[in-house]
Amino acid sequence: MDVKEYVSFDAVGLADLIARGQVTPAEVQAAAREAAQAVDPRLNAVVETWPADDEPRPGSAPLAGVPFLIKDLGITMAGRRTDLGSRLAAGTVATADSTLMSRFRRAGLVTFGRTATPEMAYSTTTEPVLYGPTRNPWDLTRSAGGSSGGAGAAVAAGIVPLAHATDAAGSIRIPAAYNGLFGLKPTRGRIPVGPTADEIFNGLAVHGSVSRTVRDSAVLLDLVSGPEPGDPYVAPQPARPYAQEVTRDPGSLRIGVLAQAWGGHRTAPPVADALSRTVRLLESLDHRVEQAEPELGVGWEEFVLANARQWAANLAVSVDELAAATGRPVDFSTLEPPILASYHYGRRVTGTELVTALAVRNRVSRTLARFFDAYDVLLTPTVPDLPVPLGTHGRGAEALDGPGWLRRLFDLSPFTAAFNVAGTPAMSVPVTADTATGLPVGMQFAAGHGREGRLFRLAGQLEQAAPWSDRTPAVWAGNHPNR
């Protein structure tokens, strides 16, 4: 199998080829590694690769033999490093698989490396001091997003058809939007985060994936979802496998549209134009689309402050544990300025302030739940602008305190975090692109608690009506001749 053939298949397609004996897992792995060698020197999306573990027998699992990458955070693979994008954690080796890693293995995925993340996943761009910036394959001067930016760039450039990602405020959906991919943030409790944690960031963060096709994300979610003993949250079981939902008719949905984000953030003209084209597409598919003004239940500044308290308090605990384990100091030699500032802020957050933040989480969850009683889906831009130039997030960041840093992140991505707070599913779909630059523009669709099936039905319909698979970035493994 050569690279050009390899990148023409999604994960489900590759697994089918392997199961029918048309190609071996070793041949597919060789193509994936060749793809990485061809494009990653320009992207810096993959921070480490390793020889594949024992490859599953073809047909022994639904995705047997499919190459896969995990994020350098939130998941552990026995015997492999987890650096968290940070000098503080660099060289840390996991002693056991986490629950999700075990499920990836059972699915048949062959994990051969890990992807870049910003330090502690505490940014919406992937530009850590430890690894250096990850570049967007559509335009190497622009961000690949974050915190799953390495995963987004790797999948978009054709290294793997899908990759592990996490999302605490948009970290699946932002890289999906920036890189022209599909990315769904599941309902809180859909995928376990154990066994060493029962929740991450007080339930804000979830696991998921980014992929080039909708069915890949649906199949993978079918394979890894479901609770484990001790989980504090359990999402309702779906009526049928998500893989089946992708080809089902979603019916005529009532879709509310939020064009301008909470907090007075303005959507840039290219994205507003893409949103208008998406609305017209939805109307042509017989959906009932209208402007909506969903409330958060709290003011924007209160919302940002509550998130800052949750994020920073959790960060402080993690940093202290890492420092104790590595024997390294907590200072500018180990942490970047905004992360160090957030750490110091987190240590000052009181118990009563954290409980107050959790009360804000409850108000947001209840308020958005009422909105989804009236609407089937909410449509927003995933982010209010095109992929930003590298360096945008860090400009003047050394002067920001903990809340100031989080405010900057939320200002750059004001549409996504509400659904982490509410714990409801939301997806970014690469429905269209900017007409002037060709850069991808992601559209976010959110639904009520446990309604991933509805989102997959809509995403499958959109993928059929406005296919995006023929749009490939400038840095694309399929453009490179075999070595």
**Mean pLDDT within 18-34:** 96
Residues tagged active-site: 71, 147, 171
**Mean pLDDT within 2-19:** 97
pLDDT at site 482: 55
369, exposed or middle or buried, with CB in 10 Å at 0-12, 13-18, 19+? middle
Mean pLDDT of the chain: 97
Q: Mind listing the pLDDT tens digit for each residue in 165-195?
A: 999 999 999 999 999 999 999 999 999 999 9
Q: Decide if pLDDT at 54 tops 90.
A: no
Owner of token pair 């023929």: 470
Closest among 196, 5, 29 to 97, alpha carbons compared: 196
- Least confident stretch, 50-54, 95-99, 414-418, 456-460: 50-54
pLDDT at site 483: 45
Per residue, what are the HEC states of the chain?
CCHHHHCCCCHHHHHHHHHCCCCCHHHHHHHHHHHHHHHHHHHCCEEEECCCCCCCCCCCCCCCCCEEEEECCCCCCCCCECCCCCCCCCCCECCCCCHHHHHHHHCCCEEEEEECCCHHHCCCCCCCCCCCCCEECCEEEEECCCCCHHHHHHHHCCCCCEEEEEECCCCCHHHHHHHCCEEEECCCCCCCCCCCCCCCCCCCCEEEEEECCHHHHHHHHHHHCCCCCCCCCCCCCCCCCHHHHCCCCCCCCEEEECCCCHHHCCCCHHHHHHHHHHHHHHHHCCCEEEECCCCCCCCHHHHHHHHHHHHHHHHHHHHHHHHHHHCCCCCCCCCCHHHHHHHHHHHHCCHHHHHHHHHHHHHHHHHHHHHHHHCCEEEEECCCCCCCECCCCCCCHHHCCHHHHHHHHHHHCCCCHHHHHHCCCEEEEEEEECCCCCCEEEEEEECCCCCHHHHHHHHHHHHHHCCCCCCCCCCCHHHCCCC
Alpha-carbon distance of 94 to 109, in angstroms, equals 19
Q: Mind listing the pLDDT tens digit for each residue in 267-313?
A: 999 999 999 999 999 999 999 999 999 999 999 999 999 999 999 99
Closest among 189, 48, 182 to 462, alpha carbons compared: 182
Closest among 399, 405, 390, 396 to 339, alpha carbons compared: 405
Alpha-carbon distance of 456 to 445, in angstroms, equals 10
Number of domains in the chain: 1
Q: Where does the pLDDT of residue 359 fall: very low under 50, low under 70, confident under 90, or very high at 90 and above?
A: very high
**Mean pLDDT within 431-440:** 97
**Mean pLDDT within 406-416:** 98
pLDDT at site 283: 98
**Domain with 345 in it:** 3-479
Token couple for 304: 């940002």
Contact yes or no for 190/202 (Cβ under 8 A)? no
Closest among 303, 266, 274 to 417, alpha carbons compared: 303
**Mean pLDDT within 453-473:** 97
Contact yes or no for 290/376 (Cβ under 8 A)? no
Please give the share of the chain, as a percent, with pLDDT higher than 70.
99
- Give the CATH number for residue 126: 3.90.1300.10
Q: Decide if pLDDT at 225 tops 80.
A: yes
Contact yes or no for 282/376 (Cβ under 8 A)? no
Buried b (16+ CB within 10 A) or exposed e, 287-297: bebeebebebb
Owner of token pair 């999302």: 167
- The length of the chain is 483
Alpha-carbon distance of 73 to 90, in angstroms, equals 12
Alpha-carbon distance of 224 to 102, in angstroms, equals 9
